[in-house]
Chains A and B, each alone.
Chain A
Amino acid sequence: MNTSPLTALFSYFALLSLFAVGGANAAIPEMHRVAVDVMHWMNDRQFADMFAISQVSPGPNVIIVALIGYHVAGLAGAAVAIIAMCGPTCTLAFFIARTWDRFKAARWRMAIQAGMVPLSLGLIAASAFVLARAADHNVYAALITAATAAVAFFTRINPLWLFAAAGVMGLSGWL
Chain B
Amino acid sequence: MSDSAARPAHNPSLSELFHGFSLVSISGFGGALPWARRMIVEQKRWMTTEEFNEAFALSQFLPGPNVINFSVVFGSRIAGPVGAVVALGGLLGPPLVIVTLLAVLYERFGGVEVLSRILAGITAAATGLLIAVVAKMAAPLFLSRWNSAPLFAVLAFVGVALMHWPLPYVFLGLAPLSIAFAWFKR
Contact = CB atoms under 8 A, between A and B. Distances in A.
Interface of A: 15-21, 23-25, 27, 29-30, 33, 37, 45-46, 48-63, 66-67, 70-71, 75, 78, 82, 85-86, 88-90, 92-94, 96-98, 100, 104, 107-132, 134-137, 141-142, 144-153, 158-160, 162-163, 165-171, 173, 175
Interface stretch (B1-9, B10-18, B39-47, B92-100): B92-100
Interface of B: 25-32, 54-55, 57-69, 72-73, 76-77, 81, 84, 88, 91-92, 94-96, 98-100, 102-104, 106-107, 110, 114, 116-138, 141, 148-157, 160-161, 164, 166-168, 171, 174-175, 178-183, 185-186
A162 B183 contact: no
Given A92-B62, A115-B182, A60 B25 contact: yes
Given A17-B63, A19-B63, A61-B65, A136 B164 contact: no
Given A27-B167, A67-B99, A145-B128, A124 B62 contact: no
B interface: dominant SS: helix
A137 to B, nearest CB: 8
B100 A147 contact: no
Given A62-B65, A115-B178, A117-B141, A53 B99 contact: yes
